[in-house]
Every structure is written in structure tokens, then in C-alpha cells.
Structure 1
Amino acid sequence: MNLITIIVPAYNEEAVLHKLYDRLKEVIKSVPAYQFEILFVNDGSKDSTLSIIKKMREWDKRISYVNLSRNFGKEIAMLAGLDHAKGNAVIIIDADLQDPPELIPEMIKYWEMGYDDVFAKRRSRSGETWFKKWSSSTFYKLLQKMSRIPIQENTGDFRLLDRRCVEALKQIRETQRYTKGMFSWIGYNKKEILFDRDPRAAGETKWNYSKLFDLAIEGMTSFTTAPLRLSAFCGFIISFFSFFYIIWIITKTLIFGEKVAGYPSLMTVILFLGGIQLISLGIIGEYLGRIFNETKNRPLYFVDEYNNEKELNQARPASEQKITKHLNRGRA
């Protein structure tokens, strides 16, 4: 029987874990043709999330867990889940039950039809403010215009991935991760399912506006260099008009004898150009910071415990492993 792994990233989700498990258990019963692994990734929770997962594993051996050594963030937690998933296909779902597990049988049906990436697209989003909906829609429209990759709008991480999609994502070991863009970047045969998103079943959201802004910056800098080109374009336009403005000032002064405008206009121009320069430096700094983080080549995460066994974390960085493979092929 084919094995399907359900990955559940969890950070301080003690209030909702039992509800999630009950609904997943009913869904699994409705698909008897497959075996299932429910893989929880505890992302450094400070509440009793880990202890609840361990207790659930005691009475249901289909449950596995990866306990990360600290909080690395949801993007890294999903990669840890992909690294440890054993299934022929993988389903990623949030623990908060905003994405209904009851869609899983439909996802499996389309997977059986040959689709590699079956993703759930939100038709409506209950429990979210108008500002969050507007800002999300504006961000995706802007990102789609700036990027050459068709970024999926109104979709989250709730999807079924074939094993070859999983292996493709595992090869992308970037430290600054925007997984929603990576789903589009790897390609393969995709199928969307529409659904109405529910509010959280319990607990509080971990995504405040500050974290959402950081995620938006990750998306912008990970999949397009348009901000760099925009800053260069602005510099060119300002320099172009400034050149003609200088000629106009010199002409008025030398030929017509008019006095040059004084302190207020001079300060306005200086402050305007200084602001443009600082914005351009900030954009360059965002990309430079990501280059700095990538060149350190640190492991993306450390595992404290996997299914009641302590991890030694002896794996080398991905780039070093690739070098070793090439050397071994050369010797062969």
C-alpha cells in the first residue's frame, strides 16, 4: 500500500492538537486504500505541544514527530518535515484547522489522476480583517507583476505533493525561504481545489503584521531583482531631469540675470535626493544581507529529537555534500 505523509508544523498549538487529530483520524478512515503517517514538526514550542504529541504517539503509531532544537520558523519547519517524510506523497497542513482536512481525499483523487501538486486555493477567508485581505491581495498582484514566475495567489501551504516534488524542494537549501514561491518555481503538473477558509479552531495566530511584512520582503527578494532595477531606473530618471534643470538654472543666471533660488529650494532638493539614495541603499542592503547569510553555509536547522530518539546532527551542509559527491564520481 502507498504511504502518504501528513506534515503538521506546530508552534504553541496545544489548544488545537486534539481537535486536529480527531479530524485527521476520521479523514484517514475514509481513505482505506492508503497507509498514513502523521508527522508533527515541533518548532521550538514553549507550551505543552511536544508532550501532547508524544502522548498521542503512544496510542497511535501512525504519528511521528520531529522536535527542532529551537524555533526556526515555519518555513524551516516545513523543510524539516519534508526531510523526514517517508510517504510516496506528502500533504502539508497547518495545525490551526483553518485549512479543512476533509479536502485530503479529493487531493488524493487528483494525485491518482496524475497531478503532482494539488493545492488548495482560498475562495473566501473567514476570521481575517479587511486590511489583511487587501494587503495580501495587493502583495500577490505586485509580486506577480515583478516576477517572471507565476506566483499562486490566495494559496497557502495546504497541498499534496508527489514524491518527486518533495525531492525537488529538498534540494533547495536556501536560508532565506519563501516556500510559496518555491512551489511555483519547481513546476510540475499542478491542480487547484477551491475552498472556503475557516477561522482558527482555537488559540491565537502566530502571524502578526510584522512577521507578514518580513515574509513579503522574503518573497520580493527571493524571486525577483525588480527592486534593484527600479532603484537604478529612479536614479537614471532623476539624473536625467537634474541635468536639464542645471542647464536651465545656469542659462537663467548668465543670460537673463535672474537670481538663483535660495535655501528652501536647495534643502528640498538635498533631502529628496538623500531619501532616494537611502531607499536605494536599503534595497541593496536587503539583497546583500541575503548573500551574506547564504555564504555562511550554516545548516538550516538542528533536530533535538526524532520519535523518542536524540539526534546527533552530524549532517554536513548541503554544498559540502554536493562537493563530496562530485569528488567521489571523479574517483570512480
Structure 2
Amino acid sequence: MPQPTYSFVIPLYNEEDNLPELYRQLSRLFESLDGDSELILVDDGSRDRSLAILRSLQAQDARVRYLSLGRNFGHQIALSAGLQFATGKAIVVMDADLQDPPEVVAQLSEQWRAGYDVVYGQRLSRTKEGWLKRLTAYGFYRLLNRLSDVEIPADTGDFCLMDRAVADLLNQMPERNRYIRGLRAWVGFRQTAVQFHRPGRFAGSVKYTFRKSLALAINSILGFSKIPLRLATYLGLFSAGFAGLMMVLTIYWRFFDRSPNSHRLEGFALITMGVFFLGAVQLICIGILGEYIGRIYEEVKGRPLFTIKELGGLKPLSNPHNTQTHAVPLAKGLY
């Protein structure tokens, strides 16, 4: 089979209501692109009829391929799994809820043809999202850029087109706690943005809950910044300076301030405040260290990124990048 020009990698979880419309819009898009396309759909352990729909789509259209993971590994791991199987000269990453408009892909392709290796979608607006969601997203991207060791473009998600060379580099990265848009920025190469207005979900409920979004935010900061570790040092220095100041003031009040009307910070309340303050500083520092140590623990275990229970239209990986493979029947295996 000749190498397709475009590989569309789309992770999904419980998207039975969106899959028919997603396929319809992408089929129409494929006819307008300047090359052959393949569609790789990654079922991240869905509990609805998503897998059955994928089987049906693959049976009627050879351009559709799918892989079903052994359980729900999370969006970033599912996306990484799809990248392992993509064979196109350019890889388009999208979400299955149609919030990444397929019609924008033509603009991404145009910039790729102009010589850019990574073309990412940059959101100008977010339709059908509450003010709190928009506010926290705005603040998070700016905070991440201030803390990160690399410049990660603001207001961007995983929606992008990347050259084959960039995808190969991402596939070679062994880390478990993955933040694809950060890794995409870290590799460098020529990158540019295509701005678009992000619509609301076509159907179904939001899969990135507040808890998952918070976990992704923490993961992105810890994965691309050492500043939280330095924060522990800063808190320690601040506590030492504060303690030194209080010691000086206490000595002054004890030996030099003889005014009967002076308001001295002394007694049990002062001691209690100091103990609680130092305890909070210690717990924060231990928590920061624990987050980094937890990531080290995940890495040294050496477990595969994901497991696969079913492949459709795809061959098992013969030599997966930085993963472990075991001889198992059919398409099932560890990757």
C-alpha cells in the first residue's frame, strides 16, 4: 500500500453520538485534499457503542483504521498510541467532538506545503464554554509560558498538522507523563499558527472534567519546568528570613521596649501561628517533591505506555519506539 500523504489521528472516548458526523465531514474533506488520506481512530476504552461503530466504518471504508486500547489510558496516551501507527507524510491531530473544525485542515496543509514542520490551531474564541472555563484556560496558558523552559504557544490544544519527521521524534520520546503540545514545542523546527474560532461540541458530554483538566495542567507544569522545585527553596529562605526578623523583634521587645502601652506579639497565639506556618511550608515542599518523585517512580517501572486489545485495518507494530512488545496472539499486546 503506498504511503498516504495525510494521516488523521483522532483519540476518542464514548463518542458514539459524534462518530457518524465526524466520518461524514472527514470523508468530504478527504476529497478536497491534495493527496491520499488515512483515518486512524483510537478507542480509549470506550464503554458505549464507539468500538462497534469503528468496526462498521472500517468495514465500509478502507481508509478508516482503528485501534482499541485495553482500558482507558487517558487522552494523551491514546494520542501517542495513534501516532505510533500513523504512516502519512503529514499527521493531523484532532479531537472527535468536532471542536477542531475539519475545514481548518486545508489551511494547516497550506502552511505545511509552504515549508512549516508544525502548524497548530490557535483558538480565537471558545463557543459554548462558561466564563470560568475560559478564564482558567487563559490564565493557565500564560502561567505555563512563564514557568516553562520552552515557549509553548498560548491558546493552543493538540489540534495541529505535523511533518513526518516531527512525529517520528515524538514517537521516540520515552516519557510516560506526556503533554503532547509541550513535546511538540520542545522539538523545535519551523512552527506557525492558524487561528480559528472553536465551536462547541457537536454532541455528547465534555470528557475533560475539571479533575482531568487540573491533572493535565499539573502534569504540563511539572513536565516542562523546574520552578516548583525552586519554589520549595524560596519558601525555605522566606521562612528563615521571617524567623530571623521575629527573633530580632522579640529580643528588642524583651530588653529595650519598656513602654507599658506597647503591643507586643507574644504568648501562645504567636507560637501557634509560627508552628502552623512552618508546618504548611514543610507540607508544601514535601508535596512538590512527592510530585516529582512520583514521576520518577512511573518512569523507572518501565511499563509500556498502553495495551491494545484490537486492531482494525492496521498491522501490529513490528518495532515500536521506546516501548515493550511481547509475543501474544492476534493484535493484542503491550506497547
Alignment TM-score, normalising by the size of structure 2: 0.90
Deviation of the 1:315 alpha carbon: 6.9
Contact 1:115 1:190 in 2 (8 A): yes
Contact 1:57 1:64 in 2 (8 A): yes
Contact 2:90 2:164 in 1 (8 A): yes
Distance across 2 between alignment mates of 1:317 and 1:154 = 30
Q: Which residue of 1 aligns with 2:249?
A: 248
Select 2:322's aligned residue among 305, 315, 318.
318
Q: Which residue of 1 aligns with 2:276?
A: 271
Deviation of the 1:244 alpha carbon: 3.0
Distance across 2 between alignment mates of 1:100 and 1:48 = 23
**Which structure has greater helix proportion?**
1
Distance across 1 between alignment mates of 2:313 and 2:109 = 30
Contact 1:39 1:85 in 2 (8 A): yes
Distance across 2 between alignment mates of 1:208 and 1:260 = 46
Are residues 1:24 and 2:26 paired?
yes
Q: Which residue of 1 aligns with 2:9?
A: 7
Contact 1:122 1:196 in 2 (8 A): yes
Distance across 2 between alignment mates of 1:204 and 1:275 = 38
Q: Which residue of 2 aligns with 1:230?
A: 231
Matched position secondary structure for 1:150:
coil
Q: Which residue of 2 aligns with 1:296?
A: 301
What percentage of aligned pairs have identical amino acids?
Answer: 36
Q: Deviations over 1:248-291 (max 9, x none)?
A: 31343245579871111111111111111111111111111111
Q: Deviations over 1:6-44 (max 9, x none)?
A: 01101100001000000001111112x301100000111
Are residues 1:211 and 2:212 paired?
yes
1:1-332 matched pairs, under 5 angstroms: 2-31=4-33, 33-255=34-256, 261-307=266-312, 318=322
Distance across 1 between alignment mates of 2:256 and 2:52 = 84
How many pairs align? 319
2:268 partner amino acid: Y
Distance across 1 between alignment mates of 2:323 and 2:66 = 27
| Cα 1:172–1:98 shift into 2, 3 Å | same
Q: Deviations over 1:47-88 (max 9, x none)?
A: 110110110111110000111111100100111001001111
Deviation of the 1:89 alpha carbon: 0.9
Matched position secondary structure for 1:207:
coil
Q: Which residue of 2 aligns with 1:329?
A: none
Matched position secondary structure for 2:92:
strand
Distance across 2 between alignment mates of 1:292 and 1:167 = 26
Distance across 2 between alignment mates of 1:309 and 1:143 = 37
Deviation of the 1:314 alpha carbon: 9.0
Contact 2:172 2:321 in 1 (8 A): no
2:273 partner amino acid: T
2:27 partner amino acid: K
Distance across 1 between alignment mates of 2:113 and 2:78 = 27
Contact 2:64 2:313 in 1 (8 A): no
Q: Which runs of 5+ in 2 are unaligned?
A: 326-335
Distance across 2 between alignment mates of 1:15 and 1:79 = 24
Q: Deviations over 1:162-204 (max 9, x none)?
A: 0000011011121111112111111111121110000000011
Aligned-residue Cα RMSD (Å) equals 2.1
Q: Which runs of 5+ in 1 are unaligned?
A: 322-332
Distance across 1 between alignment mates of 2:314 and 2:166 = 28
Deviation of the 1:299 alpha carbon: 0.5
1:19 partner amino acid: E
